[in-house]
Structure 1
């Protein structure tokens, strides 16, 4: 499996985490054979597919308050389908069939499958679950939906490997509705050999939850010190579910030629606070508003969310009904 910084080999530890028990070569005991000599050593005791099942698929639920529900649904369901397959259904051919089953025209399916890249490299079988899905941009006829994914795959030795990507899904509005036209998976840089205390504190913090691509971005040094320090400050009061940091986000502010603060490594997006999704109508407005004001006190200069707050630095639009954009104006 490529990109080792983004994938963790679970093997027997995964078996324990899934409530199953495996046996390692160190745990195997040799009993003397009939002739008094030990039997041959086993060639392999790696977990087999029957010993460690992959987590089951769990379709992402959609809030009734989505501003473009059909666009987000098209993006999410396609990625869930492309990134999940049973044993024997790996490869581009079956992936194209899964894409067509989600309404992708047969002429477009091969191109989208080719763009899926790391999402199709998980092994002989795989399960993909969506962690967060948010808008990256919304125009009259074009849209971007950013989908953070976690994926489990069957490795060559039969063990389970966990990883994930964030995909910038581009859609076009057609007469029949929104249609996926392009997939842009995240490709984080390698992790720093010496990340430093600030990065280690963020990735190890139990109140800061990072999806695989965002975690890889931070470990690679692709988030500047000021937003890193702000995350730690905010985590003193809140549990923070981050969705996007650097990779997997549009390079420019969608529909413009302006470079995004995510591209400058000066921003992070948050999809849930204290375990409450920003888009969930049951999430108290006061919780989200307090978090946004706390982000401003922590040094953010540009803060987007579902409501326009009074004071400088805040903004709101249709794109930010489902997440909070927290951006900074310094590289240090």
Structure 2
């Protein structure tokens, strides 16, 4: 065989061997995208199975956690704070009986609202059952239905002392929990009537304040008085002024006095005895011509450390502002028709006017 023929035969044999290797045994197929292929044996399909084919079971999905609405916490009620008695009280047990009963009736925790628990609180103050039921009925303004409530006494002064009978006037503030969880701020002034018994002073009756509705168009004297930052009014006294239950003369005097003093008012109109205690004379408070003051410049009238010059100076300033009757813990000068004192006025100042204008 010639050399060219032999070369041709060898090339043909090599080509036949390469063809057999390409189709006979196991081989690798490409995915056509330059990525990793799948391996298949002879006679097996090389079709790919999608990652999430309809024939395959889907991986389990964790249940979604529900998002609960955020509920803001309820604002707390102010804490109860027993009113302190001064060591110079004229009848300390009378005042203690009055204020402690009102604190008990007007303060309750959750689950203790209503007249039944109120009667139990009264009985815990040594009030006999029949009288406890009566006093709870009389204290209705302090027992407005609420899940919980707190009372704080602002002041306590005598409305009158006559033998074995006494009147103690107690302006107080009360905070109640509303149905929506908010806090409602209110209050009253209560005329507490007591009698002296062998066992001590006993509460016989309660006369809470009941101010009228505020005037739709209050005049400038009223607006200036209730917004003055040196005139401090308990809830019932403020309500009295807003309802027009204080005449112009005492309103003008209050504004004049506030130019020189910080004034803490105790009683204006409602919550005060109708008559001068123990008499048949109509009170100037009933005539809407008077206001009572329990502290001046933050110093209480009853406190023995309060300077006499402060209280006496205020009383004289009230007379210069037009008051025709000024009562207090001491008789100023020779007294006369303007200044007076008695046992019931050791703890407050009575400022009264004889004009409706």
TM-score range normalised by the length of the shorter chain: 0.7 to 0.9
2:143 is the alignment partner of 1:120? yes
CA contact (8 A) 2:196 2:202 kept: yes
Q: Which residue of 1 aligns with 2:346?
A: 321
Q: Which residue of 2 aligns with 1:278?
A: 301
CA contact (8 A) 1:122 1:154 kept: no
Following superposition, the deviation at residue 282 of structure 1 comes to 0.7
CA contact (8 A) 1:227 1:328 kept: yes
Following superposition, the deviation at residue 167 of structure 1 comes to 0.1
Q: Which residue of 2 aligns with 1:226?
A: 249
> Post-superposition, which runs of at least 4 consecutive aligned residues in structure 1 deviate over 2 A?
39-42
Rate the CA distance shift 1:122–1:316 in 2: closer, same or farther, 3 A. farther
Structure 2 counterpart SS, 1:178 = strand
CA contact (8 A) 1:124 1:154 kept: yes
Structure showing greater radius of gyration is: 2
User: What is the TM-score of this pair, normalised by structure 1?
Assistant: 0.85
Cα deviation code 1:196-242 (max 9, x no counterpart): 11100000000000000000000000000000000000000000000
Q: Which residue of 2 aligns with 1:25?
A: none
2:218 is the alignment partner of 1:195? yes
Gaps of 5+ in 2: 1-65
Distance in 2 of aligned mates of 1:104 and 1:188: 28
Q: Pick the aligned partner of 1:60 from 76, 83, 88.
A: 83
Distance in 1 of aligned mates of 2:250 and 2:68: 53
Following superposition, the deviation at residue 122 of structure 1 comes to 5.4
Distance in 1 of aligned mates of 2:159 and 2:185: 26
Write out aligned runs for 1:91-170 (5 A).
91-121=114-144, 123-170=146-193
Following superposition, the deviation at residue 150 of structure 1 comes to 0.2
Distance in 2 of aligned mates of 1:112 and 1:145: 15
Cα deviation code 1:267-318 (max 9, x no counterpart): 0000000000000011001100000000000000000000000153000000
CA contact (8 A) 2:325 2:351 kept: yes
Gaps of 5+ in 1: 1-38
Which of the pair has the greater relative contact order for Cα pairs under 8 Å at 6+ separation? Answer: 1
CA contact (8 A) 2:74 2:182 kept: no
CA contact (8 A) 1:52 1:160 kept: yes
Q: CA RMSD in A?
A: 1.5
CA contact (8 A) 2:114 2:145 kept: no
Distance in 2 of aligned mates of 1:218 and 1:284: 30
Structure 1 counterpart SS, 2:130 = coil
CA contact (8 A) 2:237 2:266 kept: yes
Q: Which residue of 1 aligns with 2:59?
A: none
- Between the two proteins, the alignment pairs up a number of residues equal to 290
Structure 2 counterpart SS, 1:253 = coil
Q: Which residue of 1 aligns with 2:236?
A: 213
Structure 2 counterpart SS, 1:107 = helix
Distance in 2 of aligned mates of 1:124 and 1:300: 45
CA contact (8 A) 1:122 1:152 kept: no
2:290 is the alignment partner of 1:263? no
Structure 1 counterpart SS, 2:119 = helix
Distance in 2 of aligned mates of 1:199 and 1:139: 35
2:335 is the alignment partner of 1:330? no
